[in-house]
Structure 1
Amino acid sequence: MKFSARFLEDAANAIPEERATVADLQIFVSEQNVTMHLRDNSTRTGLPTDHVTIPLYNLAEGIAYDWWSLFGGRDQEFRLMKYRSGFLVPDVRFKFDGVAFEVSAPQKVYKNPDVRFWAGPTEVLSRPQAEFALSDIVQQVIQQLDRKKFRESSAALRWARVQESRERPEEAAFCESAGALGLDPYQIADADALTIDRASSLFEDREALDEFLSGARPYTPNQMLDWIVQAEKRPKYKSTLPGLRDLVTEAEKITPSHSIESSWALGYRRARAMRKALNLANEKRIRSSKQLASMLGASESYSPAGTVNGIRAIRHDYDGHISIHLRNHGKSATQARSEMFSFARAIGDAACFPNSGRSAINELHSAYRQAAGRAFAAEFLAPIEEIKSMQKDGWDRISIEDEFCVSAHVIEHQIENADRINLACAA
């Protein structure tokens, strides 16, 4: 991703900061110019325009104010259109899962005037690459404002604060946590700051912390933290899985981590490795959380903790052991299936991230750890090769779902993702 700006002199605009930053802007995603567009769709012979001419002040100010949410939040999508202030721009979208920063640009059509921005590719950047690209355009605008003697603008002041925070690791971590909660770190209430401090004392891993806080946004974070504390006060035999640590170590040996790997690929590979470490053939079924806990060395007294909104399980490492505190999902057949899938997701978190001390399994979908755990659970509980074999034998999807004790949604996704599961596991 790259922003290319050519600033114009003496542009007409009533707002001084906007007038000073009018520019011909091009945005490149995977080296394709996504600002390419057609005006007046009725004129088929019209030539495309390769840039937009807009004030860049609002773009820079928006990025500066949203910086900590852009990189702290999970399961969120930010759109360039949010900062357009009435001007026509391509529908560039940003999404960060904690590891990969995804940029996309679907087709966008405006009416009055008729303008069509063509669809662009999707580009996946590392965090440093994304930070560089976004910082670069903000810095260009700030420098242009400086040249025009606008040194005290809101954008400039905010960007200076962000830059100062980025240079201080502890402050940057706090700001990012605030962004995960959807809060402004520079105007945060004392109670919210205390919640962040409390959460950071439990979740030492930075990504685990951001995923917990992002997942807590729709709920009540302090109630969730209370639940964790109470769950971990229970007798150890109610949550410890004595055999899991060695199995996790064995799975990591079978499938070492790749330097750059999608969340789902890591989850699928470690699921197969875990079944291998357990000597579980594809045709072997896991029918309940109790059975799965027993396979991992748990005592007969292993049991879920109480109920809570926003958490499905907590994985906690201590003294060389791994505990999984399951939320009580309920007693119906559907709830039992959901509980087993949550349990498998927590096991997947341990298998995919063996060096993390505590993490939450929650309702996020595209966050890196949550996505890896979901992929793990699906392939661990319902191996795609076994599903395909059953299909050849004439089983329908409802029967397959019942056989594996997972939801129809899991089976459907396994079938849809069959090619990429095998591709990931062949790597």
Structure 2
Amino acid sequence: MNNGWKISAEWETLDTGSQEERSCFAALGIQANDRWLTEGRDALANRLRQAPLLSAYHLAEWFAWNWWRLRWEPRASNPDWAFAHKMSNIGGGYIWPNITIFSDGERTALLAKATRERIETPFRYITDAAAILPSGKFEVVVDEFVGQVLERLDAQGVGPTNLSCLWSDVIAERGDPELSRIRKLEALLGKQPDDLGEDEVIEFLNSAERFGISAVEEIAADQGHSLASASVSASGLLAAAQRGFAVKPSEMVRLRRAPDSSNRPADIPAWRLGAEMAKALRDQEALGDAPLENVRLAEFLAAEKGIAEATKNTELGISILVHSNAEAHIALRSRWQSGRRFELARLLCDHLMHPDDRLSPATRANTYRQKVQRSFAAELLSPFFSVMNMLQGDYSQESLLDLAQHFNVSEMTIRTQLVNHGVLEREDLDPDAVLQVA
């Protein structure tokens, strides 16, 4: 698959508006994987256009204002998420494409949807397409486009502008490791730059010092996902974990032969990496096609036998594996056995991937790390080969429910397996989980 995308601007003439707008009025086209995401029908000219007439200045300003959130914030359900991720909210009197942009940290999604046909609307976008690209490539194209707009403004003798100030701040923040870390945390929490209070910043950084920044960022993404109020303080996480179940880190299962890691995470879908790890573990432990029993799952985590059947849960809204000196504790979110099995498998995956981390969180966020966990858990508990053999082409809800009971997982787990492997269309899954395949 061609993982390329580009933004092209051919300058046009505009007689009204601000200096910035007149200077940067353009036929603006956005392509991803050789498809025009901006293609539409121009009712006034009665023809198709790949690059409608828009304000390149407004688009560049939107990229600059939302850069941190576009780069790091995954799909979320908080109320203002769309304003930072949907181009249709740019405004300025233009008909913007219905393109949504978000990242799981490693890979960036661009989702284009056709707009409704309205008599009074002179331009209607017609593309329905999804493109997934390495987030580094997303950065490069945005940098080039904003640079092109700034050069145009300079050539037209316009400046300084709000865009030049915003972009200078972004470049400076990206070059400052400490400030970059804070901006990333703000983005994961669904906040704009400087929206995070000083006390909150200190709490996050103290937790990062105790558990590592990557694990704390996962918890931040969970809070941003749903405006949760879970504590990220080191003491709060430790207290929650110690109310759970003791485990023995030195006795946890290890992958003797990990999947090929020559590809960077950005080059491999999260679901594929998780599935390959689970297959490797099933082969290593000679699990065959049989369902994974609760006792064996507990053994993998060196936990007490009844951990999957218990109903004790954490009030954090997430599941965690926390190391404290020579001990470790697991606290689970779900009270239901199938949910607890899934969470245990997710924590096992995270421990296998990050064995030196002192905190493994399994959250509701759609980051790359969380998606790897979910795919690993689905494949470990309900291996795809066995699922297909048992379904025999019958994908009815009744068959999926029967199979879910057989493997002691949720129906959604079975359905996600089928979607990830292309057996069912993505639309058959909950829309908020569509980019599990990313």
Q: TM-score range by the shorter chain?
A: 0.7 to 0.9
**Residue 173 to residue 385, structure 1, CA distance change in 2 (3 Å):** same
Q: Are the equivalent residues in 2 in contact too, given 1:56–1:141 (CA < 8 A)?
A: yes
Greater Cα shift, 212-221 or 406-415: 406-415
In structure 1, the partner of 2:430 is none
Greater Cα shift, 88-97 or 222-231: 222-231
- TM-score, normalised to structure 1, is 0.83
Aligned counterparts of 1:205 and 1:193: Cα–Cα separation in 2: 12
Helix, strand or coil at the partner of 2:48: coil
Aligned counterparts of 1:317 and 1:102: Cα–Cα separation in 2: 37
Q: 1:36 aligns with which of 31, 34, 39?
A: 39
**Residue 2 to residue 416, structure 1, CA distance change in 2 (3 Å):** closer
Q: 2:20 aligns with which of 17, 21, 26?
A: 17
Helix, strand or coil at the partner of 2:49: coil
Tell me whether 1:222 sits opposite 2:228 in the alignment. no
Q: Are the equivalent residues in 1 in contact too, given 2:42–2:124 (CA < 8 A)?
A: yes
Aligned counterparts of 2:203 and 2:312: Cα–Cα separation in 1: 22
Aligned counterparts of 2:334 and 2:99: Cα–Cα separation in 1: 39
In structure 1, the partner of 2:429 is none
Helix, strand or coil at the partner of 1:23: strand
In structure 1, the partner of 2:123 is 115
5 Å-filtered alignment, 1:197-216, equals 197-206=205-214, 208-216=215-223
Task: Report how many residues are paired.
Answer: 402
Aligned counterparts of 2:332 and 2:277: Cα–Cα separation in 1: 24
Tell me whether 1:390 sits opposite 2:390 in the alignment. yes
**Residue 140 to residue 64, structure 1, CA distance change in 2 (3 Å):** same
Aligned counterparts of 2:108 and 2:364: Cα–Cα separation in 1: 20
Offset, 1:160: 0.5
In structure 1, the partner of 2:427 is none
In structure 2, the partner of 1:7 is 11
In structure 2, the partner of 1:311 is 318
Offset, 1:358: 2.6
In structure 1, the partner of 2:53 is 53
Q: Are the equivalent residues in 1 in contact too, given 2:207–2:233 (CA < 8 A)?
A: no
In structure 1, the partner of 2:303 is 298
Aligned counterparts of 1:96 and 1:359: Cα–Cα separation in 2: 21
Q: 1:263 aligns with which of 257, 264, 270?
A: 270
Tell me whether 1:75 sits opposite 2:79 in the alignment. no
In structure 2, the partner of 1:351 is 352
Alignment RMSD, CA only?
Answer: 3.1
Aligned counterparts of 1:32 and 1:348: Cα–Cα separation in 2: 36
In structure 2, the partner of 1:424 is none
Offset, 1:261: 1.2
**Residue 355 to residue 118, structure 1, CA distance change in 2 (3 Å):** farther
Amino acid of the structure 1 residue aligned with 2:255:
T
Q: Deviations over 1:96-117 (max 9, x none)?
A: 1111112232322452124232
**Residue 384 to residue 306, structure 1, CA distance change in 2 (3 Å):** closer
Aligned counterparts of 1:399 and 1:120: Cα–Cα separation in 2: 35
Greater Cα shift, 197-206 or 337-346: 197-206
Tell me whether 1:329 sits opposite 2:337 in the alignment. no
Offset, 1:232: 5.1
Offset, 1:142: 2.3
Aligned counterparts of 1:113 and 1:234: Cα–Cα separation in 2: 59
Amino acid of the structure 1 residue aligned with 2:36:
N
Greater Cα shift, 382-391 or 171-180: 382-391
**Residue 355 to residue 121, structure 1, CA distance change in 2 (3 Å):** farther
Q: Are the equivalent residues in 2 in contact too, given 1:35–1:90 (CA < 8 A)?
A: yes
Aligned counterparts of 2:156 and 2:88: Cα–Cα separation in 1: 26
In structure 1, the partner of 2:194 is 186
5 Å-filtered alignment, 1:371-390, equals 371-390=371-390
- TM-score, normalised to structure 2, is 0.81
5 Å-filtered alignment, 1:268-279, equals 268-279=275-286
Q: 1:406 aligns with which of 406, 409, 414?
A: 409
In structure 1, the partner of 2:183 is 175
Q: Deviations over 1:141-196 (max 9, x none)?
A: 22333334443322211111110111122221211111111222335322332233
Q: Are the equivalent residues in 2 in contact too, given 1:72–1:210 (CA < 8 A)?
A: no
Aligned counterparts of 1:416 and 1:72: Cα–Cα separation in 2: 25
**Residue 404 to residue 165, structure 1, CA distance change in 2 (3 Å):** same
Offset, 1:315: 5.5
Aligned counterparts of 2:399 and 2:129: Cα–Cα separation in 1: 37
Aligned counterparts of 2:185 and 2:15: Cα–Cα separation in 1: 40
Q: Are the equivalent residues in 1 in contact too, given 2:238–2:322 (CA < 8 A)?
A: no
Aligned counterparts of 1:261 and 1:355: Cα–Cα separation in 2: 23
Helix, strand or coil at the partner of 2:231: helix
Helix, strand or coil at the partner of 1:133: helix
Tell me whether 1:282 sits opposite 2:289 in the alignment. yes
Aligned counterparts of 1:120 and 1:273: Cα–Cα separation in 2: 37
Tell me whether 1:338 sits opposite 2:343 in the alignment. no
Aligned counterparts of 2:192 and 2:97: Cα–Cα separation in 1: 27
Identical aligned residues as a percent: 21
Aligned counterparts of 2:90 and 2:117: Cα–Cα separation in 1: 16
Q: Deviations over 1:203-227 (max 9, x none)?
A: 4253x33322110121114367554
Aligned counterparts of 1:414 and 1:381: Cα–Cα separation in 2: 11
**Residue 328 to residue 8, structure 1, CA distance change in 2 (3 Å):** closer
In structure 2, the partner of 1:250 is 256
Offset, 1:265: 0.4
Q: Are the equivalent residues in 1 in contact too, given 2:88–2:98 (CA < 8 A)?
A: yes
Q: Deviations over 1:351-397 (max 9, x none)?
A: 34445443311112x32111111111111111222233434599944
Aligned counterparts of 1:143 and 1:204: Cα–Cα separation in 2: 40
Q: Are the equivalent residues in 2 in contact too, given 1:94–1:101 (CA < 8 A)?
A: yes
Amino acid of the structure 2 residue aligned with 1:63:
F
**Residue 187 to residue 413, structure 1, CA distance change in 2 (3 Å):** closer
Offset, 1:273: 1.0
Offset, 1:404: 1.7
**Residue 393 to residue 216, structure 1, CA distance change in 2 (3 Å):** closer
Aligned counterparts of 1:249 and 1:388: Cα–Cα separation in 2: 26
Q: Are the equivalent residues in 1 in contact too, given 2:10–2:28 (CA < 8 A)?
A: yes
